[in-house]
Structure 1
Amino acid sequence: MKKYDIKSTDKETLRKWYYLMTLGRMIDEKAPAYLLQSLGWSFHAPYAGHDGIQLAMGQVFTRGEDFFFPYYRDLLAALSAGMTAEEIILNGLSKATDLTSGGRHMSNHFAKMEWNIQNISSATATQDLHAVGVARAMAYYGHKGVVIASHGESSVSEGFVYEAINGASTEQLPVIFVIEDNGFGISVPKKDQTSNPKVAANFSGFKNLKIIYCNGKDVFDSMNAMAEAREHAITKHNPVIVHANCVRIGSHSNSDKHTLYRDEDELAYVKAADPLQKFRRMLLRYERFTEDELKKIEEEAKKELSTANKKAIAAPDPDASTVLDYVLPEPYKPQVYVDGTHNLDGEKKTMVTAINETLKAEFRHNPDTFLWGQDVANKDKGGVFNVTKGMQQEFGVKRVFNAPIAEDYIVGTANGMSRFDPKIRIVIEGAEFADYFWPAVEQYVECTHEYWRNNGKFVPNVTVRLASGGYIGGGLYHSQTIEGALSTLPGARIVYPSFADDAAGLLRTSMRSKGFTLYLEPKAQYNAVEAATVVPDDFEVPFGKARIRREGTDLSIITYGNTTHFCLTVADRLAKESGWNVEVIDLRSLIPLDKEAIFESVKKTSKALIVHEDKVFSGFGAEIAAMIGEEMFRYLDAPVQRVGSIFTPVGFHPNFEKAILPGEERIYKAAKSLLEY
């Protein structure tokens, strides 16, 4: 492997490096001026002191082969990887032509998706999980290349960094984790983050993981470290940590004042350690360049900056009328069952069978489909409820496999793997039970705003399956449903079937669609007789299309999931007892929501009862009730009512569960009261 040093590196390469370092520093130092002029760059994290390692990351990055996840301090890394000064400034000024996001994301986040320089979140180091997912795809498809993900040393305190490094070493994936260690997490010194002075040492016991330490201030040491890391990752198919010792010359960002926590001696030391000035002195000392030659390079960089500055300032600002673009992509449109209904007779299938058979059918339909999760592929077992039984046997261990008990890792690597190619579709069992999904919510949030944040350039094609709800005597962590909380996050479709055919149809549409879907399965209905239906081959259910389970004229009951069955029983009971004609609407899809079906029913009946298993307080029904109250008030003959769980966790003993979760009797009383209003 070629070694870089001041004597043997050719002059043209040295010239390029010095030009990039000079131009990068000029932009870095100019960024605060834009804010002072009210032109933008309201978030700026200066990179000065990280020059060596950032130059090296960009130089080692191979366009067309590698993926790069730079973090918000990696201005020089992005420039070194090939982005132009104009592209960097367009991002800083949040212009409409900003490649990263068209002004939707924070400044100082640099991306060029067509080159696989990825747009990352502001939540530091979340990209490590995405990097592992991309590398998994590289390994599966036999792609030559590496994934580079960088961040500061304090980010290593995050649990998902451990999950990413653990997963990459377990799966033996070509990921380079670059830790740019400048000694501070904003104002928090490294000693308050970890007991190891070198944070990479925390991972020294990991099998299949190589750790390389380098001086991130030194161009040559950094280049050699990154070149070695890339070669090792490709040839050995193993991950590498490059721990680069840096200094932070300035404050953490323009929102920070480092003089409040750093003394004059330290500030003098880091300024003296300036990598750019050190490199300049070396070029003169070893007579690779003359003073005049370096000044000429500096003048060229200054001219490029001036030209880029003028173009970027003149670029258009984002158009606020586009704010609703790229929240959700267009879904797959059903081709046969366009409204998601059928009238077929025949043998009924349980919901668990319908889901299992649909998964298998879609895996045959699209060979670029993958599934993983906890306990989903263990010999003849397919999870706690056997939903994925037989999947691994038919489709192999590379397409269907178990994941660690790390929910963030399960979701984050799905986000990453789908970046490799838009044809990929991923189904994940996000947790054994929906109640255990909370550790993954950080990555759930990432998935929801990817499409919008990227200005439509990328969306994770991922379906998250979760066994949800109660009525099984499961108690805490086995009986709760979470759609009310997660529906507040734009960017995810949320579906919740009640019957086997809808479970099959919604799953098929989810797996064929572009975008991110939360697919909630009422586990109490997996093998329930009342949820079993005829399931047509290739049945499809469109998103945002409710199903009228029972037509009526006196009251509209709007429901979904487990409570749909209670509502149908109540409607039949009221008809037999008093002749009331109650309409039951099964929403099936919460986001998007079929407002038209709800409104048409309310116009007809003038009374609305919303029933769901989730808590009444802040549950999804509150949004439906508000929507009816705001837009359909003139049609109402009674206040909108809601039935759901009381505002407590779900208890384990049957007496607690019965008191907490809505049942037939509670729904009956509410419906009868409304009918008699």
Structure 2
Amino acid sequence: MTTVPQVYSIKSTPKETLEKWFRLLTIGRAIDNKAPNYLKQAIGWSYHAPYAGHDGIQLAIGQIFEKEKDHLFPYYRDMLTAFSAGLTAEELILNGISKATDPASGGRHMSNHFAKPEWNIHNVSSLTGNHTLHAVGAARAIKYYGEKAVSISSQGESSLSEGYVYEAINGASKEKLPVIFAIQDNGYGISVPKKDQTATRKVANNFNSFKNLRVIHCNGKDVFDSMNAMTEAKRHALEAEEPVMVQANCVRMRSHSNSDRHELYRSEAERNYVLDYDPLAKYRRMLIRYERFTEEELAAIEADAKAIVKTAHKAALKAPDPDPESIFDFVLPEAYESEKYPDGLHEEDGEKKKLITGLNETLKAEFRHNPDTFIWGQDMANKDKGGIFNVSKGLQQEFGIKRVFNAPIAEDFIMGTANGMSRFSDKIRIVVEGAEFADYFWPAMEQYVDSSHDYWRSNGKFTPNVTIRLASGGYIGGGLYHSQTIEGALTSIPGVRIVYPSFADDAAGLLRTSMRSRGMTMFMEPKALYNDPKAAAVIPDDFEVPFGKARTRREGNDLFIITYGNATHLALDAAEKLAKEGLECEVLDLRSLVPMDKDAILAGVKKIGKVMVVHEDKVHSGFGAEIASIIMEEAFEDLDGPVHRVGSPFTPVGFHRALEKAILPTVDKIYDAAKKILAY
């Protein structure tokens, strides 16, 4: 155990400080005890995780936090942490009973998830330990911008079993970031005892071998030991500029939550034993024993605490409930709007550039445009290499290793720290290669889903300004993990824009718009087209393409083909083949899937009547199903036949070229389908 200076003690701590702490502890416990009654009275607080037994460490975390400077990521048991950090009793109750004026989420997020984003007390999800990565990302920004501040991740000991928590701690130690991992160890993950989580009794000791990481143990039930530990942790993180892990030994005096019954897995002896270690009762006894307060003084404070809670309760009950009409607010922030290119179209005069060149030049231009732009990923910046396909080639040489750098092979870390770094300032724009190939993105889905609802969940107070680049699709002979396209799964998740360009100019214009917009964008790049002359186009230096604006690639009156990505070129080739037979197809390149240009789709259906949707992804549950459904619901009377879909069969994409060709759409498959529709 590392030595911790004894700054605070029962004898030396000023009386006014001791009184402040006692007030916080007493009011906090009164609300903690009262919370279950709200559910019993059908008022709310349907999820409450009591903190009793964690009092010492939670008081300390809140006390060392400096609002609007440090960054605090509390977890669902951190009621006293939030109260100690500055939230009022009324704000705690507003959160518990999910009122519209709750500063954390306005009733959109689960009760007992306390936050105040304007103070840097961050809104985090229910996923245990998920926010550890966000704390690391915020600490990266703190270090980059030279702030004398810390980022604090508060969590239970069982969260350390999660792989992404290991990723966060590994990344923090590698980058030497000023982040404090406060681990509140009460011995249980709901009903799962610690022995079923790890072989090490003191879980923080699992990380003793991590370089640049200091580990401190303390008694989380004791106010003074906890205050000393957290004070030293903050001092060390600031001065050494490296992470610290504080393991606080706590007890859980009650059930995990109000839906848990701990008598089913804890003996009566154990339940009584933990009550004997009540931190509040111990602190009160010490104040009397060492004659720092009289019984009458403490009783007066306790009476005042009851009055404060009563007043807060009455005020919170009068607060408005969330408005059901507001459910569509804050799904996505307003996007950057182009004045010069409102329709995403431009003059065609000039030299054509390849799609990969358009992306590379746009990245560099936007890095020059906004000095608060960053990019990282795997294989991103090693000597002359710039990403697995060299899309980011030359960026590190021009903009430096602090803005352009490699990440560990840990997709959750890449995505999660992007979310966290974005929390530092709204001026920051982040681009990540979410994975080397789209197929490898699945480990990051936990962070992707969490980030997708940050804007909605926080009631508009935070949105991750992140563009995720994924090299997508097949036609390269890559097989599993190298040739799949995954937009069919991603488009079912609200809160993220999804674009899928087919030509170099649209790729450049959509990337610029993505990087200048607030909010999160999934930027899917058809890697087979990076260097394909068919995708080359003239690209104005300042070109911008708005989200949700499709582009007609070919005019026609016989068949309307809706497409995007690699399939756009296949559809154009098929249309050319049909034109030789006197059949003219109109080809609409969506460019943007979320939002989607529904007006252009419905106008094309009305104009032509016969419709085919073509995409590379599987037909089963592919994005074409959404397009077909919209047409059937909103333009059925304009149809001259059923909407036909062309895509891949319900099978993975195979490696051998013969298998790939049998699976992916081809010009001939589109041509044959078109002939059937035209003959209907």
How would you bin the TM-score normalised by the shorter chain?
Answer: over 0.9
Post-superposition offset of 1:488: 0.5
Q: Is 1:647 equivalent to 2:653 in the alignment?
A: no
Paired position in structure 2 for 1:628: 631
* 1:317-357 CA-partner distances (Å, limit 9, x unpaired): 00000000000000000121110011222211000000000
CA contact (8 A) 2:431 2:515 kept: yes
Paired position in structure 2 for 1:617: 620
2:453 match: secondary structure: helix
Paired position in structure 2 for 1:442: 446
Paired position in structure 2 for 1:134: 138
Matched to 1:622, the amino acid is A
2:25 match: secondary structure: helix
Q: Is 1:402 equivalent to 2:406 in the alignment?
A: yes
Q: Is 1:584 equivalent to 2:587 in the alignment?
A: yes
- How far apart, CA to CA, are the structure 1 residues paired with 2:603 and 2:389? 38
Q: Is 1:307 equivalent to 2:307 in the alignment?
A: no
Q: Considering only aligned residues, what root-mean-square deviation do their CA atoms show, in Å?
A: 0.6
Paired position in structure 2 for 1:453: 457
CA contact (8 A) 2:68 2:118 kept: no
Matched to 2:63, the amino acid is Q
- How far apart, CA to CA, are the structure 1 residues paired with 2:200 and 2:670? 59
Paired position in structure 1 for 2:38: 34
User: Among 653, 656, 659, which residue is 1:656 paired with?
Assistant: 659
Paired position in structure 1 for 2:162: 158
Paired position in structure 1 for 2:387: 383
- How far apart, CA to CA, are the structure 2 residues paired with 1:67 and 1:346? 49
Q: Write out the 4+ residue segments of structure 1 that deviate beyond 6 Å after TM superposition.
A: none
Post-superposition offset of 1:552: 1.1
- How far apart, CA to CA, are the structure 1 residues paired with 2:602 and 2:583? 20
User: Among 537, 540, 543, which residue is 1:536 paired with?
Assistant: 540
Paired position in structure 2 for 1:238: 242
Q: Is 1:94 equivalent to 2:103 in the alignment?
A: no
Segments of 5+ residues of structure 2 without an aligned counterpart are none
Paired position in structure 2 for 1:432: 436
- How far apart, CA to CA, are the structure 1 residues paired with 2:365 and 2:339? 16
Paired position in structure 2 for 1:365: 369
The 5-angstrom pairing of residues 390-539 of structure 1 reads 390-539=394-543
Mean alpha-carbon deviation: is it higher for 378-387 or for 178-187? 378-387
CA contact (8 A) 2:82 2:115 kept: yes
* 1:548-601 CA-partner distances (Å, limit 9, x unpaired): 000111111000000000000111111112x11111000000000000000000
- How far apart, CA to CA, are the structure 2 residues paired with 1:289 and 1:345? 84
User: Among 630, 637, 641, which residue is 2:640 paired with?
Assistant: 637
Post-superposition offset of 1:2: 6.2
- How far apart, CA to CA, are the structure 1 residues paired with 2:135 and 2:314? 35
User: Among 97, 114, 117, which residue is 1:113 paired with?
Assistant: 117
Post-superposition offset of 1:518: 0.1
Q: Is 1:332 equivalent to 2:332 in the alignment?
A: no
Post-superposition offset of 1:366: 0.4
- How far apart, CA to CA, are the structure 2 residues paired with 1:447 and 1:57? 25
Matched to 1:152, the amino acid is G
Matched to 2:38, the amino acid is Y
- How far apart, CA to CA, are the structure 2 residues paired with 1:14 and 1:398? 44
User: Among 4, 7, 21, which residue is 2:8 paired with?
Assistant: 4
Q: Is 1:187 equivalent to 2:191 in the alignment?
A: yes
- How far apart, CA to CA, are the structure 2 residues paired with 1:346 and 1:118? 49
* 1:523-546 CA-partner distances (Å, limit 9, x unpaired): 000000100011111100000000
State how many pairs are aligned. Answer: 676
Matched to 2:46, the amino acid is S
User: Among 566, 570, 592, which residue is 2:570 paired with?
Assistant: 566
Paired position in structure 1 for 2:222: 218
Normalized against structure 1, the TM-score is what?
0.99
- How far apart, CA to CA, are the structure 2 residues paired with 1:138 and 1:248? 34
2:616 match: secondary structure: strand
CA contact (8 A) 1:344 1:536 kept: no
Paired position in structure 2 for 1:61: 65
Q: Is 1:297 equivalent to 2:301 in the alignment?
A: yes
- How far apart, CA to CA, are the structure 1 residues paired with 2:527 and 2:222? 57
* 1:476-500 CA-partner distances (Å, limit 9, x unpaired): 0000011100111000000000000
User: Among 266, 272, 293, which residue is 1:268 paired with?
Assistant: 272
Matched to 2:618, the amino acid is K
Matched to 2:450, the amino acid is E
Post-superposition offset of 1:65: 1.9
* 1:63-85 CA-partner distances (Å, limit 9, x unpaired): 23200001010000000001000
